[in-house]
């Protein structure tokens, strides 16, 4: 597959774009990723978790003197109306925390150059708009579109045990005491996680998604988790909480150099009265402290200040929230307006938060 190259005005810099459709390109991406700070959100198995026939996963890499300095995966999506191709495409980052991943100690002008060259590629490839979900490393700086603070996320610093305990909301301390009295135990599996542990996690997670009537987007088959964990042993961990040796709660953790990220989990509702969720969080904190991690990232709610957010905030009430930003960019305004005018759901629409508006599929 040919690589698209752009020579920038600065010597020895080139932007390249590759499709992630062949094994050789997948291996190239993995090789490049190893040259960046460890960030599990960019693991290829996560990126491939959802797609359809009208989307193609690609990535940009900006090279300086043949060394990668920026890496950004993205979905290249055809815009389809009523089963017909419009001739336009748009860009969306993979689900989760994404956007450009920067190498350590890059020159200060690299982010601006990267976006400048990306925008050139967009224009040459009839890209109408771009939607980016940025990561938690402030990679939205120098973005050439609109930056929008989207969701408050809970991230707590891992402190000495007594100080951490005193900082919890009283509800957390009481629930943990109850879980200990109920005889709960836990094991955190890391590095050599076997298939049985993954199956136990998958069973609890899937039953939880069914019980909560979650969107189909949140259902993953067992193979997905096995591929993710077996191929990324250093950045994945699973904690399972047991009651009398029965698995009752589980969570998949994604690990960077400094941060434990709460990713996906679930609990058997028959054991809610033993408070396994609070127990799980405190057991992760113990392990994080032993392993030398700096932060425990719990994420946010479905929207700001909902019950899920407040549940997470109770563990770290004194820590400042981390803001999740999204980016919105219209590259071709004329094409964008044409697409909006041809979408019947957009006629008279005043719901300004949806982006891109032409992909709205419900009456406002």
Q: What is the pLDDT of residues 152-173, one digit of tens each?
A: 999 999 999 999 999 999 999 9
CA 327 to chain centre: 15
| Model confidence at 9: pLDDT above 50 | no
Per-residue confidence (pLDDT) for residue 95, from 0 to 100: 85
From 62, 17, 71, select the one nearest 44 (Cα to Cα): 71
Residue 217 pLDDT: 84
When mean pLDDT is compared across 27-36, 42-51, 76-85, the lowest value belongs to: 42-51
Q: Which of 160, 165, 62, 159 is nearest to 120 (CA)?
A: 62
Q: Which domains does the chain possess? A: 4-144 (3.40.630), 153-322 (3.40.630.30)
Mean pLDDT in the chain?
Answer: 93
Q: Does residue 51 have a pLDDT over 70?
A: no
Residue 42 has pLDDT above 90, yes or no: yes
In tens, the pLDDT along 98-156 reads 999 999 999 999 999 999 999 999 999 999 999 999 999 999 999 999 999 999 999 99
Res 91 pLDDT > 50: yes
| Phi, psi (rounded to 5 degrees) for 11 | -60, 145
Closest CA to 261 of 231, 289, 286, 295: 295
For residue 362, what pLDDT is reported?
64
99 token code pair:
């956007």
pLDDT at 2: 43
3-state secondary structure 176-210: HHHHHHCCEEEEEEECCCCHHHHHHHHHHHHHHHH
Predicted local confidence at residue 7, as pLDDT? 46
What per-residue confidence (pLDDT) applies to 82? 82
Confidence of residue 351 (pLDDT cuts 50, 70, 90): low
Q: What tens digit of pLDDT does each residue of 177-221 get?
A: 999 999 999 999 999 999 999 999 999 999 999 999 998 888 999
Average of per-residue pLDDT across 52-80: 94
Q: Is the pLDDT of residue 299 over 90?
A: yes
Element (H, E) at 26: helix 23-33
Q: Cα separation of 222 and 333, whole Å?
A: 43
Query: Looking at per-residue confidence, does 364 or 204 come out higher?
Result: 204
Mean per-residue pLDDT for 309-332? 98
pLDDT at 348: 63
DSSP 8-class letter at 42: G
Asked if the model's pLDDT at residue 1 lies above 60, the reply is no
Q: Does 97 have pLDDT greater than 80?
A: yes
């Amino acid at each position: 597959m040919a690589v698209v190259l752009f020579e920038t005005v600065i010597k020895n810099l080139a932007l390249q774009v590759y499709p992630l459709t062949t094994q050789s390109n997948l291996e190239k991406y993995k090789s490049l990723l190893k040259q960046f700070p460890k960030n599990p959100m960019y693991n290829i198995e996560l990126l491939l978790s959802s797609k359809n026939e009208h989307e193609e996963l690609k990535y940009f890499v900006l090279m300086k003197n043949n060394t990668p300095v920026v890496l950004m995966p993205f979905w290249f999506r055809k815009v389809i109306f009523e089963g017909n191709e419009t001739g336009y495409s748009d860009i969306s980052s993979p689900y989760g925390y994404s956007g450009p991943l920067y190498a350590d100690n890059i020159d200060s002008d690299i982010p601006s150059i990267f976006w400048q060259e990306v925008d050139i590629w967009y224009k040459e490839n009839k890209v109408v708009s771009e939607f980016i979900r940025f990561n938690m490393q402030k990679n939205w700086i120098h973005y050439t579109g609109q930056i929008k603070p989207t969701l408050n996320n809970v991230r707590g610093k891992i402190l000495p045990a007594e100080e951490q305990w005193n900082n919890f909301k009283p509800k957390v301390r009481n629930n943990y005491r109850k879980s200990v009295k109920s005889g709960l135990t836990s094991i955190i599996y890391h590095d050599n996680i076997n298939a049985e542990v993954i199956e136990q996690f998958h069973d609890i997670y899937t039953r939880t998604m069914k019980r909560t009537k979650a969107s189909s987007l949140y259902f993953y088959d067992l193979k997905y988790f096995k591929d993710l964990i077996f191929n990324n042993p250093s950045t994945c961990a699973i904690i399972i909480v047991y009651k009398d040796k029965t698995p009752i709660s589980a969570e998949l953790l994604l690990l960077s150099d400094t941060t434990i990220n709460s990713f996906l989990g679930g609990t058997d509702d028959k054991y809610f009265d033993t408070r396994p969720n609070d127990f799980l969080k405190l057991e992760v904190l113990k392990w994080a402290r032993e392993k030398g991690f700096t932060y425990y990232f719990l994420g946010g709610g479905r929207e700001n200040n909902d019950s899920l957010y407040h549940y997470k905030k109770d563990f770290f009430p004194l820590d400042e929230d981390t803001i999740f930003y999204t980016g919105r960019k219209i590259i071709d305004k004329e094409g964008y307006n044409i697409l909006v005018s041809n979408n019947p759901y957009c006629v008279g629409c005043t719901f300004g938060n949806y982006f891109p508006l032409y992909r709205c599929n419900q009456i406002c």
